[in-house]
Amino acid sequence: MFLNRRQFLGASAALSAFPKVGLAAYPQLVAREAVQQIAPSEFPETPVWSFGGTVPGTEIRVPQGGRVQRQLSNALPQATSVHWHGIRIDNAMDGVPGLTQDVIEPGSTFDYDFAVPDAGTYWYHSHNRTIEQVARGLYGPLIIEESDKPDVDRDLTLMLDDWRLDAETAQITNDFDNGHDLSHAGRLGNIVTVNGQFDPSYEVRASERLRLRLINASNARIFDLGIDGLTGWIVALDGMPLETPLEITDRFPLGPAQRADMIVDVRASASEAASLVSFERDGGFGLVRFDVSGPGRAVRTGIAALPPNPLPEISVEDTPLHRMSMQGGAMRWLSSAKLGETELSGQELAQLGRFWALNGYAERPKDPFLDARLGETHRIEFANETAFPHAMHMHGHHFRIVLSDGSLGPWRDTVLLGRGQSRQVVLVADNPGSWLLHCHMLGHAASGMMSWFRVT
């Protein structure tokens, strides 16, 4: 059988052990324009930006402990980069222009090549002009498979997004930098899609057991989710398995960039439908429909936790605490903050499109928020002094939430903070390099909520 070059190189993991002298590169991931039916079928198609020609982009799936190797080729009219969200990655591959690499100019390429230590549900997305590029569709799922897979009938990735489209032409509205969105809740859309489709449905059988990998790729929307005609558990958050699966008895939030893996059983019977439901102010609506047909499966009961990832042991005793105060935005306007070493008034900052600050800086400061030595444990208190919720994301590490009784909650890479809320997290700084720490509401990140820490 004749293997084409793409398959040959992709399948040949051993090649990565050798220096890449003169060897043509990895499978290509092309960032390019495409057209897709985003709005309901009576509307025109929408021009999007994509990884590989579709939104979401090409699913990348590798076994735990393997490598992701892709040559990013930029066929867009704008410079780009790729961030592999949630991967405890080699710093040079983290995809942050100006911190870990240069932007990839139109017509250029960049080779991404990194090991993936943890199984779970991750994603990749543009990290340049993110507020526009992610809104235009530059994201895709990154699935790292455990060797010991749970017993399910199917494994479905569901990537949630909300789009702001012109109500007649279905074009993405080109108002990414408008001051109202930046200073309020961010860019909220007028149409919600799952896997790039409005109101998708999947055929299932009665009593099937499904693994649903939910990924929130939207710029700013916090989903409030529930299930109907299904019962089950959340088994992982932000890729990391929960020690004890959490039975879904109520709604649960999914902030921008967050993931939740659920294992659910279809309870609806043949010719009925089950659904994933999003709760809005005016009630719940189905995001995804599962149409039940065919002969049913045998009912399963009980659930086992997913196998744990190789995460560090954490003890909170005597760990230094660093406070990050989150400031500004509508109703709590900044009185002043720094750009570089220059202190500007809130009004001057607003004219420059800066509405938020982290510890007094309205952009990524020159010095890191935290300078950690390799292996140290640190606590961070995120203090949300603003009138809006935020989704704070840390690159290169997962952290544990410190619960109100002092015990340690789940491992996460992105934590939601309600208006006025403070929360502590604790991490082991075990991945050397310079790492971003920012709000994943992309308009907030672009208008001031951007910081970083260093591990040496």
Q: Which one of ligand C2O, Cu ion, none is in contact with 441 (Cβ closer than 5 to 8 A by kind)?
A: Cu ion
Give the one residue of 444, 448, 450, 453 binding Cu ion; rule: CB under 5 A: 444
Give the nearest distance from C-beta 146 to Cu ion in angstroms. Answer: 32
Distance from chain centroid for Cα 385: 24
Q: Which one of ligand C2O, Cu ion, none is in contact with 83 (Cβ closer than 5 to 8 A by kind)?
A: ligand C2O
Residues 6+ away with beta carbon under 8 Å from 429: 370, 372, 373, 374, 375, 376, 377, 378, 397, 453, 455
Backbone angle region of 271, left / alpha / beta, with phi > 0 → left and psi within -120 to 50 → alpha: left
Give the nearest distance from C-beta 440 to ligand C2O in angstroms. Answer: 6
| C-alpha separations of 25 from 9, 70, 110, 112, 409 in Å | 8, 8, 10, 10, 42
Give the nearest distance from C-beta 441 to Cu ion in angstroms. Answer: 4
For Cu ion, the closer CB: 50 or 183: 183
For the beta sheet containing 109-115, the strands, ordered from the edge strand earlier in sequence to the opposite edge, are: 46-51, 28-36, 67-74, 109-115
The pattern of x and - marking residues 384 through 423 that bind Cu ion according to CB under 5 A reads: ------x---------------------------------
Give the nearest distance from C-beta 444 to ligand C2O in angstroms. Answer: 12
* Total residues at interface with Cu ion (CB under 5 A): 4
User: 450 - beta bridge partners?
Assistant: 438
CA–CA gap between residue 268 and residue 277 (Å, rounded): 15
For ligand C2O, the closer CB: 85 or 211: 85
Do 185 and 208 form a contact (C-beta atoms < 8 A)?
no
Q: Which one of Cu ion, ligand C2O, none is in contact with 444 (Cβ closer than 5 to 8 A by kind)?
A: Cu ion
For the beta sheet containing 422-428, the strands, ordered from the edge strand earlier in sequence to the opposite edge, are: 356-358, 321-328, 377-384, 422-428, 399-402, 408-412
Give the nearest distance from C-beta 42 to ligand C2O in angstroms. Answer: 34
The pattern of x and - marking residues 27 through 66 that bind ligand C2O according to CB under 6 A reads: ----------------------------------------
Work out whether 337 is an interface residue with ligand C2O (CB under 6 A): no
Work out whether 160 is an interface residue with ligand C2O (CB under 6 A): no
Give the one residue of 441, 446, 450, 455 binding Cu ion; rule: CB under 5 A: 441
Work out whether 439 is an interface residue with Cu ion (CB under 5 A): yes
Do 367 and 452 form a contact (C-beta atoms < 8 A)?
no
Work out whether 221 is an interface residue with ligand C2O (CB under 6 A): no
Backbone angle region of 196, left / alpha / beta, with phi > 0 → left and psi within -120 to 50 → alpha: left
Site for Cu ion in 251-280 (CB under 5 A): none
Q: Which one of Cu ion, ligand C2O, none is in contact with 436 (Cβ closer than 5 to 8 A by kind)?
A: ligand C2O
Give the one residue of 436, 441, 446, 449 binding ligand C2O; rule: CB under 6 A: 436
Site for ligand C2O in 83-142 (CB under 6 A): 83, 85, 125, 127
Work out whether 170 is an interface residue with Cu ion (CB under 5 A): no
Q: Which one of Cu ion, ligand C2O, none is in contact with 439 (Cβ closer than 5 to 8 A by kind)?
A: Cu ion
Site for Cu ion in 320-359 (CB under 5 A): none
Q: Which one of ligand C2O, Cu ion, none is in contact with 393 (Cβ closer than 5 to 8 A by kind)?
A: ligand C2O
Work out whether 159 is an interface residue with ligand C2O (CB under 6 A): no
User: How big is the chain by its Cα radius of gyration, in Å?
Assistant: 22
Q: Which one of ligand C2O, Cu ion, none is in contact with 398 (Cβ closer than 5 to 8 A by kind)?
A: none
| C-alpha separations of 21 from 10, 26, 345 in Å | 17, 13, 53
Q: Which residues bind Cu ion (CB under 5 A)?
A: 390, 439, 441, 444
Q: Which residues bind ligand C2O (CB under 6 A)?
A: 83, 85, 125, 127, 257, 393, 395, 436, 438, 440
